[in-house]
């Protein structure tokens, strides 16, 4: 007879997810080499993005955990001490050096994988060799250091400069690494010169890597559905069939367990079964007994690893989130670059800020609170009891002042608040936090 699946609550899964994402006590830990490494090891990656309307995505993600920190110190940890390095883990990410051997397996296999670049690589082989030779001779170079070689056939390279595509491909296949960044532009050098320990590392066999990847994703989320697993650490390397094969083997041996979720809803398809590492079952049980999932208030980057699979966020927190950067302005509901508000384990709303650097001003163009929060009702997903709404608004005010400090703003200006009934309370909380800062 098949053993019954251990049963957990949705609130317990949400609480462990926040813990593994280092959001159980947001903005309270100090950014040190050990804390930075521990966070990125647990999450699996720290996503990078070029949008800079408030700050770069990785800076916002780290501020959410560590509060105000020294950017120069972070750069030293990444590009001098090599605590992290850049690779494509979930889009472009910083990944921990301790995971280097696993990602080396991906680099080695990337060139053999079927993908849209293969024909372009064959057509532009001369460009690849030229780029490699220039870097070998001249040292770290960026795309801007190469003139647009019109002899390269760019039609298969998405009409980008062939040298730029060559740099991408050589980075993905592990022949180059990101040496540093200047004005957020990547500067590449030979992998053996940037990360010699990675070159010497023994990469795991393919199936061992797939097991590691599945374990890493499950650990980062605490418990997950199969759709969650497809959407977390979504590098282009493991097919659905390969993941299912690995998952079946781990279920069979008992290192992964199927778990029942008490309040996950009925009638869900079998593909949405919940899974967890066997070693995490006690942690899930403990998380479900907590009075609150986390303590404190912070704002989340749109590219935060907590939000990598937005359907998961909706299931666990009852919160629908969409990045509206790519939505036409007339159709945006919450703003160009809205940041979710996390307070005591609940996503209670979102703010749309913009940093005016020359004016040293953080403009909060709009704040939208969730309907349940505005009405003073219980949270819709995982109930941790009554929420003190005034304390939550004080937390939002303090988070905005901290964010202003982080981006170098001397003041915060508050725009539209929805619903308007909360505008006066939030304005008072913001003024109080600003006065405490000064």
| pLDDT of the residue at 114 | 58
CA-CA distances (angstroms) from residue 375 to 30, 157, 387? 36, 52, 12
- What local confidence, expressed as pLDDT, does residue 294 receive? 93
Token pair 């293969």 is found at 118
- Three-state SS for 243? helix
- For 95, the 3-state DSSP assignment is strand
Residue 161 neighbours by CB under 8 Å, 6+ apart: 143, 146, 148, 149, 154
At residue 155, the pLDDT reads 47
Chain-centroid distance of CA 289 in Å reads 27
Cα(248)–Cα(160) distance, integer angstroms: 41
pLDDT on residue 157: 46
Sorted by sequence, the CB contacts under 8 Å of residue 435 that are 6+ apart come out as none
How far apart are the C-alpha atoms of 415 and 76, rounded to whole Å? 37
SS3 320: coil
Q: What is the pLDDT of residue 26?
A: 98
How large is the greatest C-alpha to C-alpha distance in the chain, in angstroms?
69
Residues 102, 92: Cα–Cα separation, whole Å = 16
Task: Write out the H or E segment, with its range, that includes residue 212.
Answer: helix 206-221
pLDDT at 385: 62
Contacts with 44 (C-beta within 8 Å, 6 or more apart), sequence order: 89, 90, 95, 99, 216, 217, 220, 232, 233, 305
pLDDT tens digits along 371-392:
999 998 888 765 566 789 999 9
Under a CB-based contact definition with an 8 Å cutoff, are residues 99 and 38 in contact?
no
Residue 19 near residue 222, CB atoms below 8 Å: yes
- Give per-residue pLDDT as tens, 182-236: 999 999 999 999 999 999 999 999 999 999 999 999 999 999 999 999 999 987 6
**pLDDT < 70: residue spans in the chain:** 1-3, 113-119, 149-159, 236, 263-271, 381-385, 438
First to last CA, the chain: 67
For residue 370, count CB atoms less than 10 angstroms from its CB and return exposed for 0-12, middle for 13-18, buried for 19 or more.
buried
- The reported pLDDT for the residue numbered 269 is 45
Tokens found for residue 194: 């940037």
Q: Is pTM, for the whole model, over 0.95?
A: no
């Amino acid at each position: 007879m098949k053993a019954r699946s251990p049963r957990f609550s949705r609130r317990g899964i949400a609480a462990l997810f926040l813990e593994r994402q280092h959001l159980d006590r947001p903005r309270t830990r100090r950014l040190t080499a050990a804390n930075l490494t521990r966070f990125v090891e647990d999450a699996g990656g720290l996503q990078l993005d070029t949008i800079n309307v408030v700050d770069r995505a990785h800076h916002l993600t780290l501020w959410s955990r560590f509060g105000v920190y020294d950017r120069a110190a972070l750069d030293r940890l990444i590009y001098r001490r090599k605590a992290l390095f850049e690779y494509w883990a979930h889009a472009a990410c910083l990944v921990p050096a301790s995971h280097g051997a696993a990602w080396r397996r991906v680099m080695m296999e990337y060139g053999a994988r079927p993908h849209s670049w293969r024909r372009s690589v064959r057509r532009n082989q001369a460009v690849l060799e030229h780029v490699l030779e220039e870097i070998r001779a001249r040292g770290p170079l960026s795309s801007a250091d190469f003139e647009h070689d019109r002899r390269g056939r760019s039609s298969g390279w998405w009409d980008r400069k062939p040298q730029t595509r060559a740099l991408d491909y050589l980075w993905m296949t592990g022949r180059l690494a990101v040496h540093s960044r200047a004005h957020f532009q990547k500067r590449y050098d030979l992998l053996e010169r940037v990360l010699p320990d990675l070159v010497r590392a023994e990469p795991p066999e393919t199936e061992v890597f797939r097991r590691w990847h599945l374990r890493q994703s499950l650990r980062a989320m605490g418990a997950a559905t199969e759709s969650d697993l497809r959407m977390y650490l979504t590098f282009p390397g493991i097919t659905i069939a390969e993941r299912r094969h690995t998952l079946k083997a781990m279920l069979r041996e008992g290192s992964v367990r199927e778990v029942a979720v008490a309040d996950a809803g009925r009638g869900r398809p079998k593909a949405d079964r919940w899974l967890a590492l066997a070693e995490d079952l006690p942690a899930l049980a403990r998380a479900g007994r907590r009075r609150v999932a986390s303590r404190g208030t912070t704002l989340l980057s749109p590219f935060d690893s907590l939000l990598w699979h937005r359907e998961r966020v909706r299931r666990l927190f009852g919160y629908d989130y969409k990045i509206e950067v790519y939505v036409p302005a007339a159709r945006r509901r919450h703003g160009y670059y809205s940041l979710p508000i996390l307070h005591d384990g609940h996503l209670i709303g979102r703010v749309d800020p913009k940093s005016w650097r020359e004016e040293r001003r953080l403009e909060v163009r709009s704040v939208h609170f969730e309907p349940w929060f505005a009405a003073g009702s219980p949270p819709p997903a995982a109930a941790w009891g009554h929420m003190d709404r005034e304390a939550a608004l004080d937390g939002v005010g303090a988070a905005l002042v901290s964010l202003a400090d982080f981006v170098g703003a001397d003041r915060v200006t508050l725009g539209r608040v929805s619903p308007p009934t909360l505008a006066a309370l939030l304005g008072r909380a913001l003024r109080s936090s600003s006065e405490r800062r000064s």
